[in-house]
Amino acid sequence: AQSVTQLGSHVSVSEGALVLLRCNYSSSVPPYLFWYVQYPNQGLQLLLKYTSAATLVKGINGFEAEFKKSETSFHLTKPSAHMSDAAEYFCAVRQNTGGFKTIFGAGTRLFVKA
């Protein structure tokens, strides 16, 4: 069985500060891992994905995430927060052996203070 835990339902940072959103996963098979962003009243936009290649994955808008198998983590970071980063962020896992089901975490809402 697969599962995703996002630590912290709300994270608040100041503009220009480091963004760190935490995600831990559980999977009995090697996973694909994703981070999505959702702006109010919109669908999900893919930020980045891990598909068993490089463990440090770079995405759009300056975000990156590192896959750490020993810690079963896939934390999302951005060196300097911008006001436009305020949104809901979802971590997701999918098995890479032909599985069809993507499991999402509960989400972390990021607030950026001026």
- Shortest spacing between CB 80 and another protein, in angstroms: 27
Please, is 108 exposed, middle or buried when counting C-beta atoms within 10 Å of its C-beta (0-12, 13-18, 19+)?
A: buried
Tokens of 32: 């694909």
- Shortest spacing between CB 90 and another protein, in angstroms: 5
Residues that bind another protein (CB under 8 A): 4, 32, 36, 41-46, 49, 51, 90, 92, 94, 96, 98, 100-107
What is d(CA 72, CA 48) in angstroms, rounded to the nearest whole number? 17
Of 63 and 90, nearer to another protein (C-beta) is 90
Candidates 113, 94, 86; CA nearest to 4 is 94
- Shortest spacing between CB 27 and another protein, in angstroms: 14
Of 19 and 103, nearer to another protein (C-beta) is 103
Of 78 and 94, nearer to another protein (C-beta) is 94
CB-based contacts of 80, cutoff 8 Å, min separation 6: 16, 17, 18, 62
